Amino acid sequence: MAHPFATELLKRPLLFDGAMGTMLYEAGRSLDECLDALNLSHPDIVSAVYRAYINAGADVIETNTFGANRIRLGQHGFADKVRDIAFRGVKLAREEREISGKSVMIAGSIGPTGRTIAPIGTLTAQHARDAFTEQIEALLEAGVDLLVMETMGSLDEMAAALDAAGACTDLPIVSLMTFAEDGRTLSGHDPREVVATLAERNVAAIGANCSVGPQRLLRVIDHMHAATRDLDDPPALAAIPNAGWPTIIGSRLIYRSSPEYFATFATDAISRGARIVGGCCGTTSEHIAAMRVAIDTSEPTANGRGNTHSAGVHIRPVAPRQPIDVESDAPTSIKQMLGKKFLRCVEIDPPKGFNPQKALDGARLLKDAGVDAINVADSPMARVRMSAMTLCYLIQHEVDVETIIHFTTRDRSLMGLQSELLGAHAANVRNILALTGDPPNLGDYPESTAVYDVDSIGLIRIISRLNQGEDSFGASIGRGASFTIACAIDPTRQDLEEEARRLHDKIESGADFVMTQPIFDIDVWTRFLKIYGEAKLPVPVMIGVLPLQSSRHAEFLHNEVPGITLTDKARDRMRQAGSSGRQEGVQMAQELLRELVPFADGTYLMPSFGRYEVAAEVISVLDEEPTISR
């Protein structure tokens, strides 16, 4: 499956954000300080810039990591902070995207080293590659969606950055050179030479950024567009200029080009062949907001969705649905398919803010890919997110695919548990994964008080009593509920005897099926079955599969995320995969799925970084309906 960035480029022009430095300068920071280090020292200011560009309607935001290589950071005494600064820059962007709930892509920004490559300068190409590699690996580990190599004045330095990326990843790359007034790069290459060189590097887009003002950059784009006409598979073109020449008024640096001027530029650039537009030095969120309006007004149906960039939530029109039959006691679709079909489920996390758009878009993509149900997590890692119940309702109502809600006892009293379950039943959210939940001290509010009136086994018993028509104390609720109950197990735990004992209790208490933590080797599951004492569990099981993205991603999960343990074999394969980490991760997940079919009744995929297209690619290996042996 194509990367979403490449897919969206084919559908419509994409709007990148504006200047990071200009916005930080307007927030009171000095242009002489290390702006990248603000990711650590003043994360609130950096987050505010990301937020402003997302709210302005940018399709892609760039991370505050332009100078986060060891050479530039070394000038400020931060050479040993490359990983921390780059990782935090991405993390802050991801958090703002999650809060917004919008389908915004995050581009890892990579600028020049500030040194000249030999033989003209003293920086060796290998030293430059090493510096870029260190930065890129940190960006990948943190979960960027693509890379932007920008403001490069030398094709040699661009080559060093591309070589570094090629050894690390297969993510899309946007390569942006900077041009002087004479229409040539700082190293003397004209636009046609740039196209001829970069088009051979398998980049997703090429173009120009910085490069003085819009009009001069448009002339560069014209030459680039002419040069791409002779190519069989030309990359997309990107035009991201400065807001004209800066002037100093008093003690302030002022750029003259207005938001309205940039709105006109956006439509001009697109009409001349650009598929990516945005702003560089001197542009702000006001410029991007004006460009957003201009693009959507000039091509209102270019993205097939209308304008989805307003602060509100855009809900795709759907056919009228029959009212929910709250009196129905029919089993859920999942219950009817258990043991008869190899089920495909994928997890979606609720947003950290008000807007569920990205989650709904992901659910639509997954429905089109053939999933049977969407799992919705309940504030995983004890971090505040939108109510899982609300998102389940929205997905079922707007996307028309069944959900499985993760329901924890962490935040709800015995009375609150039952009240919410009654409400869930009325909203037709009736597949419940009963969980104890991560303790609050893992998350953003360690001072929050956990409830834990019961654990997951107690919750299963409560739901079973509701199915029998009574609450936990035996009082009638009028009629029996029709919940389908799932329970969780971790077959990677060290104390598997205790895990097996608890699983016995969960099944005995009324669990209809089992969902596991992710495994990365079939032997992990067969070992657990031996300890459990049966060749197959007495109820259906969906085995967790987590597609890995890179070796850094694998090591992060293994060493820092509770409940996820990789095998040495899986870690070795990801290390050996090099730049093909994402492809290797998909292949490993697909191989595991094939091996699991004789031992399982379905799979439960957990895509990292909201990359639902990866989950869709993994389950495509199951196009032919597997036969299960239950």
Give SS3 for 351.
coil
Q: pLDDT (tens digit, 9 = 90+) per residue, 368-417?
A: 999 999 999 987 766 788 999 999 999 999 999 999 999 999 888 999 99
Q: Which residues contact 576 (CB under 8 A, 6 or more apart)?
A: none
* Strand ranges inside 51-98, DSSP E: 60-62
Under the banding of pLDDT at 50, 70 and 90, the label for residue 304 is very low
Amino acid 561: pLDDT:
83
pLDDT value, residue 534: 86
Share of the chain above pLDDT 70, in %: 91
Helix (H, G, I), strand (E, B) or coil at 540: coil
> Which region among 143-152, 263-272, 440-449 has the lowest average model confidence (pLDDT)?
440-449
> What are the start and end residues of each CATH 3.20.20.330 domain in the chain?
4-297
In angstroms, the CA 206 to CA 237 distance is 5
Backbone φ and ψ for 252, nearest 5 degrees, come out as -110, 145
pLDDT of 249 higher than 70: no
Q: Looking at residue 301, what is its pLDDT?
A: 40
Distance of CA 136 to the CA centre of its chain: 17
In whole angstroms, give the CA distance from residue 461 to residue 465.
6
Structure token digits, residue 598: 């004789």
The DSSP code for 328 is: -
Mean of per-residue pLDDT scores for the chain? 90
Q: How far apart are CA 602 and CA 338, in angstroms?
A: 9
Contact 97, 142 (CB under 8 A): no
The span from the CA of 432 to the CA of 406, in Å, is 6
- Assess contact for 48 and 98: CB atoms under 8 A: no
- Contact (CB, 8 A) for 37 and 83: no
CATH number belonging to the domain at 4-297, selected among 3.20.20.150, 3.40.50.720, 2.40.128.50, 3.20.20.330: 3.20.20.330
Distance, CA of 94 to CA of 98 (rounded, Å) = 6
Q: Which residue in 71, 217, 218 sits closest to 134, CA to CA?
A: 71
Element (H, E) at 542: strand 541-545
Res. 316: pLDDT tops 80:
no
3-state secondary structure (DSSP) of residue 603: strand
Give 121-145 pLDDT, tens digit per residue. 899 999 999 999 999 999 999 999 9
Of the given ranges (155-164, 214-223, 303-312, 321-330), which has the lowest mean pLDDT? 303-312
> Is residue 120 predicted with pLDDT exceeding 70?
yes
- 170 Cβ neighbours under 8 A, 6+ residues apart: 579, 580, 581, 582, 583
Q: Give burial (CB, 10 Å; 0-12/13-18/19+) of 449.
A: exposed
- Structural contact between residues 584 and 522, judged by C-beta atoms closer than 8 angstroms: no
**What tokens does 465 get?**
């009593």
User: What distance in Å separates the CA atoms of residue 537 and residue 550, rounded to the nearest whole number?
Assistant: 33
Give the separation between CA 548 and CA 453, rounded to whole angstroms: 36
For range 356-372, the mean pLDDT: 95
Q: In a 10 Å sphere around its CB, with 0-12 CB exposed, 13-18 middle and 19+ buried, how is residue 536 labelled?
A: middle
Angle (deg, nearest 10), helices 522-532 and 581-596: 40
For 574-588, what is each residue's pLDDT tens digit? 999 988 888 999 999
Where along the chain do the CATH 3.20.20.220 domains lie?
342-622
Q: Is the pTM of this model over 0.75?
A: yes
Residue 119 pLDDT exceeds 90: no
Q: Which of 550, 462, 468 is nearest to 509 (CA)?
A: 462
pLDDT score, position 451: 82
CATH topology classification for 342-622: TIM Barrel (3.20.20)
Q: Are 365 and 616 in contact (CB under 8 A)?
A: yes
